[in-house]
Amino acid sequence: MSLRKSFFLFLFVVSFVSGLFFLGTYWSVEKAFYILIDNHLVEDVAEFERLYAEGEDINKHELFVLRNQKGLVVDASRLDLIPPFNPNTLPYTDNFKFGAQTYRFITVKTSRGFYLQYGIDISQGVEFLELLRYVLFTGWILFISLLLVFYWLFVRSSLLRLERAVRESLEGKEVSVYAEIRPLVEELRKRVQDLKRQSIHYRDLLMALSHSLKTPLGRLYLKIDLLSRRHKDLDLRSIREELHYIERSARTFLRLTKLEAQSYSPSFQTCNIKSLLKELLRLYPSERLRSELEEVFVECDPELSMEVFDVLLDNAIRHGEGEVWLFLKDGKLRVENLSSKPLVEGIFEKPVGGVGLYVAKRLCDVLGWKIGAKQEVEGELYKVSFWVEFPKGG
């Protein structure tokens, strides 16, 4: 998980928890408020019932409704303030709004069998709860806004600065970062420099190895030619094919290392892919090759293109069974053959059983081509198809 996602997850959790805290605060205050009001109502209704039963004067500001056993109103302080009545849930308290005022009534059954509804004005308390709800919600929004501002002004800038520091360290530059992470960045920069030195060392070593193979291979070709002329009964074709494979692999690998070292610049020009393939087909045994080729013109480097085609064709001949088919149509090349072994996963991403296809993928990246492979089961064999897709409008 990225640092940004972690922070946003933290922000979500904090927002959720703080929201629960503010809701809990409001709920607690509201609960305490109504508990106090209800306790006060219980005391007042008992006192009112006693005074009313004794016939004493009732405070004219007190709100009450007296109902008989059938629930009919027999007495009330104000006829315009008659709350609803439900005899099935006694005693009970509830709020009722009359005009702009809010009243809380308690409904009880007296000792004489009458129903008494006694209420007080709680408008100011309700206004206080509404104000508290507004303040808490506004405070929660302000708290979240402060977290977002903190992220934007500090966390985001710190992440961008850290990203820039890592990127510049990978480029080998001196960077200025926070003191807490400076040792880590310095260690990263040193490791990158060490890796670059090792990479250059191994690249130069591989280039030297590829160069060193070319000279003895050339000498072996000459000696095989001499042996063939002196001893015409010797069949040296298999040796020549193996030498050709070694030479081609060394040449292809050398080309790739030069490209990665930027010591070779591709020379793009308009090429006839059909002509390049026909030129290449002359180097392979014709009895196994079948082709259906159309004219396709592409902007490419002829030498790199031939390297790619050579790898695909050689791979099909060496590892395939029977005929090898080449199809060039609609801006796409397919090389098909039957094989007793299935394709290895990731054959273009790592040198599996050889560097040919791995190098071909790298060369296609340079040329701007797409390369891939697929297979289908045909009896006990696999129909393997390698394809190269050329850019449209090439």
CATH top-level class of 266-389:
alpha beta
What integer pLDDT is reported at residue 267 of this predicted model? 86
How many angstroms separate the CA atoms of 212 and 219, rounded? 12
How many angstroms separate the CA atoms of 246 and 319, rounded? 16
How many angstroms separate the CA atoms of 279 and 119, rounded? 106
What integer pLDDT is reported at residue 294 of this predicted model? 92
The residues pairing with 271 across neighbouring beta strands, listed in sequence order, are 298
Cα torsion angle, 179, 181, 187, 188, sign: negative
Q: Which amino acid is at 43?
A: E
Q: Does the N-terminal peptide bond of residue 91 adopt cis geometry, omega within 30 degrees of 0?
A: yes
Q: Are strands 289-293 and 269-272 parallel, antiparallel or unpaired?
A: unpaired
What integer pLDDT is reported at residue 224 of this predicted model? 73
The matching CATH number, chosen from 3.30.450, 3.90.25, 3.40.50, 2.60.40, for 3-144 is 3.30.450
How many angstroms separate the CA atoms of 329 and 296, rounded? 8
Q: How many CA atoms lie within 13 A of 228 on its CB side?
A: 12
Phi and psi angles of residue 95, each rounded to the nearest 5 degrees, phi first: -95, 145
How many angstroms separate the CA atoms of 38 and 117, rounded? 13
| Structure token pair of residue 344 | 């290895």
What integer pLDDT is reported at residue 183 of this predicted model? 74
Q: Which amino acid is at 197?
A: R
Query: Where along the chain do its domains lie?
Result: 3-144, 183-248, 266-389
Is the pTM higher than 0.85?
Answer: no
Please give the torsion angle defined by the CA atoms of residues 334, 335, 338 and 339, in that order, rounded to the nearest 10 degrees. -120
Query: Minimal CA–CA distance to 375: which of 324, 329, 332, 341?
Result: 341
| Structure token pair of residue 384 | 């393997």
Q: Are strands 370-378 and 321-329 parallel, antiparallel or unpaired?
A: unpaired
What integer pLDDT is reported at residue 148 of this predicted model? 84
How many angstroms separate the CA atoms of 133 and 90, rounded? 31
Cβ burial, residue 280 (10 Å; 0-12/13-18/19+): middle
| Structure token pair of residue 104 | 């809380």
How many angstroms separate the CA atoms of 327 and 296, rounded? 11
**Tens-level pLDDT at each residue, the chain (394 residues):** 566 777 788 888 888 998 999 999 999 999 999 999 999 899 888 888 888 777 776 665 678 888 998 889 988 888 888 998 888 888 889 999 888 889 999 999 888 889 999 998 899 999 999 999 999 999 999 988 988 888 777 777 777 777 777 676 666 666 665 666 667 767 777 777 777 777 766 666 566 566 556 666 667 767 777 777 776 666 666 676 667 667 766 776 666 666 666 556 788 999 999 999 999 888 787 788 999 999 999 999 998 899 899 889 988 888 888 889 999 998 999 999 998 888 887 788 766 656 778 888 888 988 999 999 999 988 888 999 999 999 986 5
| Structure token pair of residue 173 | 């530059």
CB 364, CB 394: distance < 8 Å: no
Q: Which residues have C-beta within 8 Å of that of residue 24, sequence separation ≥ 6?
A: none
